[in-house]
Amino acid sequence: MSNKPTNKIQDLQYFGEFGGVNPSISDSATYTFLHAKTMLDTFEGHAEGCYLYSRHSSPSNLYLSEALAAMEFTETANVAASGMGAITSVFLQMCGAGDHIISGRTIYGGTYAFMKNFAPKFNISTSFVDITSLEKVEAAITPNTKMIYCELESNPLLEIANLPELAKIAKKHHIKLVVDNTFTPLIFSAQKLGADVTIHSLTKFINGTNDTVGGVVCGSQEFIDSLRNVNDGAAMLLGPVMDSLRAASILKNLRTLHIRMKKHSENALYLADNFEKDGLKIVYPGLKSHKDHELFKSMYNKEYGFGGIMTVDVGTLEKANELMELMQNENLGYLAVSLGFYKTLFSAPGTSTSSEIPVDEQKKMGLSNGIVRMSVGLDNDIERTYRAMRKCMKQVGVL
């Protein structure tokens, strides 16, 4: 079996019903049974290859799930209607009243808001810690801790989690390590680095076309079965189900992910490197100046590079807004949240994707108002883009 994530995706062979080169799209919410007994067996999870109802599973969703499990080297996976649908199902499956989560403090604002504001309704508490400090992580563990949660590359500070060391801590204390790998698909194989469960928002790089939201949970057969259990599975009972038509289209896009990731990484490295040489305050894990550069290199699948996300700190929110508006007017990208698009996307995280995090906490974690996060696009001529962006930087006075 292949040891490379892209090969593993490509080794999967599915034919459509009539020999199509893409699997047929399942267009049914419910499924017939020739024998009543098989229906009962399917309810109880003992009828391999049979489908019951599309909130539980459907052929199209299984094709996509299997491809994502292959990519993440996990036994299986379950796709969801959004990244948040995947994340919240995992939290609510793993934790009950009285349980405790340790989470990285620099994470996507929606995930932060769920743990901080919503999970307490179920008496689930969270300690937000600096995930790059292994001592702080271990010190936060209580007898009720059920999981350590982190983003492998954090949003938006681009800190890198030391997964092998976090996995050791998790194992020692018999708790699970749950990792959001949204920023770095293919680049990191989280399960190989010690994660128990790997989550993605498919909305970003994996789908890459910004036409839908989607999510996935990759893990052991046992855990994914528990998520889908008809009696007490969070995915089954909360119902964040992806539609089959979307699953089919995301699967087709997944097949070009390796080419796109290489190009995103190549372009981001070029911009980061040149803007740093120009004297700008750049954070990008591909730069030697990034504090986790060596750690990144010790964990990554080299051929996909250092990813497509970089940040530039231009000092103030006013300057950040001015720069983003100008770059949009010059057609260098879009002033929009999200990432992984063919076009560069930029936003100021403090007032957008991280706005759920209170301002004093943003300050503590080093999230300044002048930070612009860029998801670097697939520009064919990045030198031309660099020159045009540089002109904008000069025009607003940050260069």
- Contact positions vs ligand PLP (CB under 6 A): 82-84, 108, 110-111, 151, 155, 180, 182-183, 201, 203, 213, 215, 353
Supply the minimum distance, in Å, between the C-beta of residue 82 and ligand PLP: 3
In whole angstroms, the minimum distance from the beta carbon of 182 to ligand PLP comes to 4
Residue number, 203 or 362, with CB nearest to ligand PLP? 203
CB 51 within 8 A of CB 57: yes
How far apart CA 106 and CA 158 sit, in angstroms, is 9
Q: Which residues share a beta bridge with 102?
A: 127, 148
Nearest distance from C-beta of residue 340 to ligand PLP, angstroms? 10
Q: Please, which residue, 250 or 396, has the CB nearer to ligand PLP? A: 250
Query: Is the Cβ of residue 126 or residue 155 nearer to ligand PLP in the bound state?
Result: 155
**Residue number with CB closer to ligand PLP (250 or 378):** 250
CB of 107 to ligand PLP, least distance (A): 7
Q: To the nearest whole angstrom, how small is the minimum distance from the Cβ of residue 352 to ligand PLP? A: 10
Q: What sign does the CA torsion over 62, 27, 202, 118 have? A: negative
Closest separation in Å from C-beta 188 to ligand PLP: 13
CB of 80 to ligand PLP, least distance (A): 9
Shortest distance, position 376 Cβ to ligand PLP, whole Å: 15
Inter-residue contact 250 to 64 (CB < 8 Å): yes
CB of 155 or CB of 198, closer to ligand PLP: 155
Q: Are 80 and 215 in contact (CB under 8 A)?
A: yes
For ligand PLP, which residue has the nearest CB?
83
Identity of the residue, 45 or 110, whose beta carbon is nearer to ligand PLP in the bound complex:
110
Residue nearer to ligand PLP on the CB measure, 23 or 215: 215
Residue 77 tokens read as: 């996976």
Question: Residue 86 or residue 392: which is nearer to ligand PLP going by CB?
Answer: 86
Nearest approach, Cβ of 143 to ligand PLP (angstroms)?
A: 29
Which lies closer to ligand PLP via its Cβ, residue 69 or residue 309? 309
- Least distance (Å) between residue 122 CB and ligand PLP: 20
**Contact (Cβ atoms closer than 8 angstroms) between residue 221 and residue 197:** no
Which C-beta is closer to ligand PLP: that of 42 or that of 181?
Answer: 181
Beta strand 309-313 with 281-283 is: antiparallel
